[in-house]
C-alpha cells in the first residue's frame, strides 16, 4: 500500500501590499483627517499586513461631498455608452490582476486560495462585465414609458466574508446606472477594496466617482447618517441592518439590506446521495461557513439519516484544513478572533443543550484562527444551534418524516435568504421549492451564483435584490 | 431503491478533484505509483508477435536509464497473442491480461463469448478483461448481463476478472452506476470503464461514480473490488487525477495495483518524461525514451 500524501503546494504570487494605506477620496489617496491608522492582519498567522487609515466623521463628509460633486459634474451627465467603457475597464483590470487579487483576498480574509482564485475574483469580474453591458440599455429595465434615472450618491457597506465580490455586487450596478459611490469595506478585510480603488484610479474614472473609506462600525454609521447619501446598500448582520433601518427612518433614502440566514438544506430519501453529501459539504464548509446563505440547517428524511451521517462523517476526514495559500486547502482560517470566539460559544451551547458533535480529526495550526469542520446530530428546533446563525463551519442536522413536515421546519425561522432541496423527483422538487420562504432556492445543487441571477432575502434576511435586472433597478430612481 | 446520480454536482466534484495540486515529492511518488498500476495495452488489428514482444520488454523495464522506475502491472492483449506475451514476460512480475467475450462489442453468440475466455486462460492469461453486452443492458435485460458475468467468473476461478462497462455507450451516469452495481454483485474483481474503442473513454466523473459504487459495495459486503480506467489516458496529469479520485473516494487502501489499474499505451512515455523532469529539472526530448 502506498500513500499519496499531498506535498505543500503554496501559491507563490506575491501581491503588492503597501506599508500604509490612506483613504481613497476624489480620485486620490489622502491622509485621514482622523489622523488614526489601524492594523490589518492575516488571520491564518496573526501577522500584520499593513496599516490602514481610519475614516472618522470628517473623512466621511469629505468623501460624500466628493461623490456628490462627481455625480453632478461628470458621472450622471456622461453618455451611458461612455460609462459602460469605464465599468468594462474595471472588469478587465480585475481579470488581468486576478491572481494577485486572489492571493490578497486569501491573505487578508483567511479563505482558501482555490476559492478566491476560482470563485471570488472571477465572479467579481463577471459582475462588472455584466453591468457594463447594461449601462446604455437601462430603459429596458424600466416599465414602458418610464425614464431610467440614477439615484445619486450611494453609501455601500460590505462584509468581510466575500470582500471584493460584495464590493463588486454593489459598485458595478451603481456605476452602470450613473450613481457615484462611497464604499466602506469591513474592518478586518480592507485590502482588496483598496486594490480595487487602485484599479479605479488607473482606469481613470472621474475623481470622486468611487471613494473608499476604511474604518469600523462608526465609520459605517456616519456614512448611513450623512445627509448627503441618497441610498444605502448594506450587507452584514441582521442586528446592524435593523440599526441602519432605524437610523434612516423618516428620510428619503433608499435602502437595500442583505442580512443573515439560517438556511434549510433538505435531503429526501430519494436524493442522489453522494451528490447530496457534496452539496451539504459545499453548503456549510465553503469559506469556513462564513456565508450568509450557507446551508446551515440540514433537514434529513428520517429513513436516510444514518446513511447521510455515515457518508458525511467519512467525507469530513478528506477535507484538508490548513494554510489558506496552499492550493489543496479546503478549509482555511476563520476570519477573526472575534468570529472564532462566537463559533466556539455557539458550539458549546450545542453540546450543553444535548446535541452530539462530530468533527474532522486533524491537528489545527498553532498560530492563526482555525476551527475544524463540524456537525451536530440530535439537534432540536428549539436549540440555539438550530436557530442562531453560527457563521462558521458548523452544521446542525435535524430530521423530518414527510415533505410537509420538511417545509414546515424549513420555514420555521425568522430568516429567509436561501434553501436547498435534494430529491431525484422533479415534481417533489417543485412542490417544495415553491413553498420555501427564501429568496433563493437551489434544487440538487447549492451555492451557485451568476451575475444575471438576482440574489437577496426576505423577513430578517433583508430586502432588495443584487444581481440581474432586479439588482439594476435598485440603483434607478422610482 | 437504486442509487441515482446527479450530473451537475458529480461533475463539479470531479472538477474539484482534478484541481488538486500534486507537486514535488508527491508528484514523484504519484508517477511511480501510476507506473506500477499500468496495464500496458495493445489492442489493434495489426498487432503482431514482434509488436507484443517489444511492448513486453518495455513493461518489464520501462526505461534503461531510469532503473528505479518499477515494472508495470500487466500487459493487455488479444487472446491470440497471450502465449507470446506470456513467453516474453517469463521471470518478471508483469502479468498478462487478455480481453475476451468478443471484445470490443461483445456481440458474438453466448457460447463463442465464453469460449473466448477459455481460450485466453488456456493460453496462459493471468487476468481476463471481459466486455458486457451493452445491447442487453440498454434494453433492460440486466439479468442476462448479470448471468454472463457470473458464468465468466466461474470459468476464471481464482483469476482476476475485470468487467468492462463501456461507459461511453451507456448514455447517463445513472446507467454507469447501475452497471457498476450489477457487475459488483455478479462477482467482478475489477470494474473497468472502457474498451478504448468508442468515442468517449474514461472520464473523471465516470471514475468518481464507479469509485462510489465500489465504496458502497465494500461498506455493505466487506469485499474490496478494484477500478480500472482505460482509454484516452495519455498524460501524467490525467493519471495523477485518477489517483486523487481513488485516494479521496476509496481511500489509501486502493492505491495499489491490486485494486487500481490504468489501461494505456502512450501514458507510460509521458510518465517517464515527467519523472525525469522531476529528478533533473529538465525535459528530455521524446526520442530519449523508447517508443513502443
Contact A4 B256 (CB under 8 A): no
Q: Residues A306, A307, A309, A313: what is their CA dihedral angle, to the nearest 10 degrees?
A: 140
* pLDDT single digits (tens) B58-72: 999 999 889 999 999
Average pLDDT (A303-311) is 98
User: What H or E segment, with its residue span, contains residue A410?
Assistant: helix A403-411
Average pLDDT (A422-433) is 98
A239 touches chain B (CB under 8 A): no
Classified as helix, coil or strand, A51 is strand
pLDDT at residue A405 tops 70 = yes
| Closest Cβ–Cβ partner in A1, A273, A424 for B255 | A1
Reference B182, options B212, B205, B209, B150; nearest CA is: B150
How distant is the Cα of A391 from the closest Cα of chain B, in angstroms? 24
How distant is the Cα of A114 from the closest Cα of chain B, in angstroms? 9
All structural domains of chain A, each given as residue ranges with its CATH number in brackets, are 20-259+458-473 (3.40.605.10), 264-443 (3.40.309.10)
CB A319 within 8 A of CB A373: yes
Which domain, by its residues, includes B202?
7-277
Out of A312-316, A356-360, B280-284, least confident range: B280-284
pLDDT at residue A437 tops 90 = yes
The nearest alpha carbon in chain A to B244 belongs to A4
ipTM of the complex: 0.94
Mean pLDDT over all residues of chain A? 97
Q: Which residues of A fall within a CB distance of 8 Å from B252?
A: 1-4
Contact B255 A2 (CB under 8 A): yes
Average pLDDT (A276-301) is 98
How distant is the Cα of A306 from the closest Cα of chain B, in angstroms? 14
DSSP string, B42-55: ---TT--HHHHHHH
How distant is the Cα of A374 from the closest Cα of chain B, in angstroms? 19
For residue B68, tell me if it sits in a domain.
Answer: yes
Taking residue A103's Cβ as centre, other Cβ atoms within 10 Å add up to 23
Classified as helix, coil or strand, A256 is strand
The nearest alpha carbon in chain A to B246 belongs to A4
For residue B291, tell me if it sits in a domain.
Answer: no
CB A461 within 8 A of CB A467: no
For residue B142, tell me if it sits in a domain.
Answer: yes
For residue B55 the three cell numbers come to: 511492448
Distance in Å from the first CA to the final CA of chain B: 47
Q: Is B192 a catalytic residue?
A: yes
A279 touches chain B (CB under 8 A): yes
* pLDDT single digits (tens) B110-130: 999 999 999 999 999 999 999
The number of domains in chain B is 1
Residues B187-219 as b or e (16 or more Cβ within 10 Å = b): bbbbbbbbbbbeeebbbbbbbbbbbbbbbbbbe
* pLDDT single digits (tens) A171-191: 999 999 999 999 999 999 999
Which runs of E-coded beta strand occur in chain B? 38-41, 74-77, 95-100, 127-131, 160-164, 190-192, 226-230, 260-264
Q: Left, alpha or beta for B262 (phi > 0: left; psi -120 to 50: alpha)?
A: beta
pLDDT at residue B286 tops 90 = no
The reported pLDDT for the residue numbered A471 is 97
B280 touches chain A (CB under 8 A): no
Contact B29 A4 (CB under 8 A): yes
User: What H or E segment, with its residue span, contains residue A403?
Assistant: helix A403-411
Report the CATH number that the domain containing residue B113 is assigned in CATH.
Answer: 3.20.20.70
pLDDT at residue A419 tops 80 = yes
B2 touches chain A (CB under 8 A): no
The reported pLDDT for the residue numbered A2 is 59
B25 touches chain A (CB under 8 A): yes
Q: Is B162 a catalytic residue?
A: no
* pLDDT single digits (tens) B9-55: 999 999 999 999 999 999 999 999 999 999 999 999 999 999 999 99
pTM of the predicted structure, to 2 decimals: 0.96
The reported pLDDT for the residue numbered B95 is 98
Contact A444 B9 (CB under 8 A): yes
Beta partners for residue A183, in sequence order: A156, A212
Q: Which of B39, B126, B129, B292 is catalytic?
A: B129
| Closest Cβ–Cβ partner in B8, B23, B26 for A4 | B26
The reported pLDDT for the residue numbered A418 is 98
Q: Within 13 Å of residue A233, how many CA atoms lie on the same side as its CB?
A: 30
pLDDT at residue B280 tops 50 = yes
By the 10 Å C-beta count (0-12 exposed, 13-18 middle, 19+ buried), A296 is classed as buried
For residue B56, tell me if it sits in a domain.
Answer: yes
The reported pLDDT for the residue numbered A51 is 98
For residue A407 the three cell numbers come to: 417545509
Q: Which residues of B fall within a CB distance of 8 Å from A118?
A: 19
By the 10 Å C-beta count (0-12 exposed, 13-18 middle, 19+ buried), B171 is classed as exposed
CB pairs under 8 A between A and B: 84
Q: Which of B228, B269, B270, B292 is catalytic?
A: B228
B132 touches chain A (CB under 8 A): no
The reported pLDDT for the residue numbered B285 is 83
| Closest Cβ–Cβ partner in A2, A278, A445 for B33 | A2
pLDDT band at B108; cut points 50, 70, 90: very high
A9 touches chain B (CB under 8 A): yes
The reported pLDDT for the residue numbered A144 is 86
pLDDT at residue B75 tops 60 = yes
Residue with cell 458486457: B132
Contact A327 B212 (CB under 8 A): no
B224 touches chain A (CB under 8 A): no
For residue B53, tell me if it sits in a domain.
Answer: yes
For residue B28, tell me if it sits in a domain.
Answer: yes
Average pLDDT (A23-39) is 98
Q: Which residues of A fall within a CB distance of 8 Å from B18?
A: none
CA dist A107 and A324 (Å) reads 8
For residue B80, tell me if it sits in a domain.
Answer: yes
Classified as helix, coil or strand, B136 is helix
pLDDT at residue A1 tops 60 = no
Helices B236-249 and B267-280 pack at an angle, to 10 degrees, of 90
Pairing of strands B226-230, B260-264: parallel
pLDDT at residue B84 tops 60 = yes
Q: Which residues of A fall within a CB distance of 8 Å from B247?
A: 4
How distant is the Cα of B17 from the closest Cα of chain A, in angstroms? 10
Distance in Å from the first CA to the final CA of chain A: 68
| Closest Cβ–Cβ partner in A4, A9, A278 for B33 | A4
For residue B216, tell me if it sits in a domain.
Answer: yes
Helices A273-285 and A305-316 pack at an angle, to 10 degrees, of 60
Contact B255 A4 (CB under 8 A): yes
Amino acid at each position: 500500500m502506498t500513500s499519496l500524501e499531498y506535498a505543500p503546494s503554496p501559491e507563490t504570487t506575491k501581491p503588492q501590499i503597501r506599508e500604509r494605506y490612506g483613504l481613497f477620496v476624489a480620485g486620490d489617496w489622502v491622509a485621514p483627517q482622523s489622523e488614526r491608522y489601524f492594523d490589518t492582519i492575516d488571520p491564518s498567522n496573526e501577522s500584520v499586513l499593513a496599516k490602514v487609515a481610519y475614516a472618522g466623521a470628517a473623512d466621511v463628509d469629505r468623501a460624500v461631498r466628493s461623490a456628490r460633486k462627481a455625480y453632478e459634474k461628470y458621472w450622471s451627465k456622461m453618455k451611458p455608452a461612455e460609462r459602460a467603457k469605464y465599468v468594462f475597464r474595471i472588469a478587465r483590470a480585475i481579470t488581468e490582476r486576478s491572481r494577485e487579487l486572489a492571493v490578497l483576498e486569501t491573505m487578508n480574509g483567511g479563505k482558501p486560495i482555490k476559492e478566491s482564485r476560482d470563485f471570488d475574483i472571477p465572479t467579481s469580474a463577471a459582475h462588472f462585465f455584466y453591468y457594463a453591458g447594461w449601462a446604455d440599455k437601462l430603459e429596458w429595465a424600466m416599465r414602458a414609458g418610464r425614464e431610467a434615472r440614477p439615484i445619486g450618491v450611494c453609501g455601500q457597506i460590505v462584509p468581510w466574508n466575500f470582500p471584493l465580490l460584495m464590493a463588486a455586487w454593489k459598485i458595478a450596478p451603481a456605476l452602470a446606472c450613473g450613481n457615484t459611490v462611497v464604499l466602506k469595506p469591513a474592518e478586518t478585510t480592507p485590502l482588496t477594496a483598496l486594490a480595487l480603488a487602485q484599479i479605479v484610479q488607473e482606469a481613470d474614472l472621474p475623481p470622486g466617482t468611487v471613494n473608499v473609506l476604511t474604518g469600523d462600525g462608526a465609520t459605517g454609521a456616519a456614512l448611513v447618517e450623512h445627509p448627503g447619501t441618497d441610498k444605502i446598500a448594506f450587507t452584514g448582520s441582521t442586528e446592524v441592518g435593523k440599526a441602519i433601518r432605524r437610523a434612516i427612518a423618516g428620510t428619503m433614502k433608499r435602502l437595500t439590506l442583505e442580512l443573515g440566514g439560517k438556511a434549510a438544506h433538505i435531503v429526501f430519501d430519494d436524493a442522489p446521495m453522494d451528490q447530496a453529501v457534496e452539496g451539504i459539504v459545499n453548503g456549510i464548509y465553503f469559506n469556513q461557513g462564513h456565508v450568509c446563505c450557507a446551508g446551515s440547517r440540514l433537514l434529513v428524511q428520517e429513513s436516510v439519516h444514518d446513511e447521510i451521517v455515515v457518508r458525511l462523517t467519512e467525507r469530513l476526514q478528506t477535507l484538508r484544513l490548513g494554510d489558506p495559500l496552499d492550493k489543496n486547502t479546503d478549509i482555511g482560517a476563520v476570519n477573526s478572533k472575534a468570529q472564532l470566539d462566537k463559533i466556539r460559544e455557539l458550539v458549546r451551547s450545542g453540546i450543553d443543550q444535548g446535541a452530539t458533535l462530530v468533527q474532522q480529526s486533524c491537528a489545527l495550526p498553532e498560530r492563526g484562527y482555525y476551527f475544524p469542520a463540524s456537525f451536530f446530530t440530535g439537534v432540536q428546533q428549539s436549540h440555539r444551534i438550530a436557530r442562531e446563525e453560527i457563521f462558521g463551519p458548523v452544521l446542525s442536522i435535524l430530521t423530518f418524516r414527510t415533505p410537509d413536515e420538511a417545509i414546515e421546519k424549513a420555514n420555521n425561522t425568522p430568516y429567509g435568504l436561501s434553501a436547498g432541496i435534494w430529491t431525484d423527483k422533479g415534481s417533489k422538487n417543485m412542490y417544495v421549492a415553491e413553498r420555501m420562504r427564501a429568496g433563493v432556492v437551489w434544487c440538487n445543487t447549492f451555492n451557485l451564483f451568476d451575475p444575471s441571477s438576482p440574489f437577496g432575502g426576505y423577513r430578517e434576511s433583508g430586502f432588495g435584490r443584487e444581481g440581474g435586472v432586479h439588482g439594476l433597478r435598485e440603483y434607478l430612481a422610482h | 431503491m437504486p442509487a441515482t446520480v446527479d450530473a451537475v454536482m458529480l461533475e463539479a466534484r470531479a472538477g474539484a478533484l482534478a484541481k488538486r495540486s500534486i507537486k514535488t515529492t508527491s508528484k514523484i511518488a504519484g508517477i511511480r505509483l501510476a507506473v506500477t498500476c499500468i496495464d500496458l495495452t495493445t489492442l489493434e488489428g495489426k498487432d503482431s508477435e514482434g509488436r507484443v514482444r517489444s511492448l513486453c520488454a518495455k513493461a518489464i523495464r520501462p526505461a534503461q536509464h531510469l532503473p528505479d522506475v518499477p515494472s508495470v502491472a500487466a500487459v493487455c492483449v488479444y487472446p491470440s497473442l497471450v502465449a507470446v506475451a506470456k513467453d516474453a514476460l517469463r521471470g518478471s512480475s508483469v502479468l498478462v491480461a487478455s480481453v475476451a467475450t468478443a471484445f470490443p462489442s461483445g456481440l458474438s453468440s453466448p457460447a463463442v463469448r465464453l469460449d473466448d475466455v477459455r481460450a485466453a486462460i488456456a493460453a496462459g492469461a493471468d487476468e481476463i478483461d471481459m466486455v458486457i453486452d451493452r445491447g442487453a443492458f440498454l434494453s433492460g435485460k440486466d439479468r442476462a448481463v448479470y448471468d454472463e458475468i457470473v458464468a465468466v467468473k466461474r470459468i476464471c476461478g481464482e483469476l482476476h476478472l475485470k468487467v468492462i462497462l463501456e461507459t461511453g455507450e451507456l448514455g447517463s451516469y445513472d446507467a454507469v452506476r447501475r452497471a457498476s452495481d450489477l457487475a459488483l454483485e455478479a462477482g467482478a474483481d475489477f470494474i473497468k470503464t472502457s474498451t478504448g474503442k468508442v468515442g468517449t473513454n474514461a472520464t473523471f466523473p465516470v471514475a468518481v461514480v464507479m469509485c462510489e459504487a465500489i465504496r458502497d459495495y465494500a461498506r455493505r459486503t466487506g469485499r474490496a473490488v478494484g477500478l480500472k480506467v482505460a482509454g484516452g489516458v495519455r498524460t501524467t496529469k490525467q493519471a495523477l487525477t485518477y489517483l486523487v479520485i481513488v485516494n479521496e473516494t476509496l481511500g489509501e487502501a486502493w492505491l495499489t495495483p491490486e485494486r487500481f489499474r490504468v489501461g494505456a499505451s502512450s501514458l507510460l512515455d509521458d510518465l517517464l518524461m515527467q519523472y525525469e523532469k522531476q529528478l533533473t529539472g529538465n525535459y528530455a526530448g521524446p526520442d530519449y525514451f523508447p517508443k513502443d
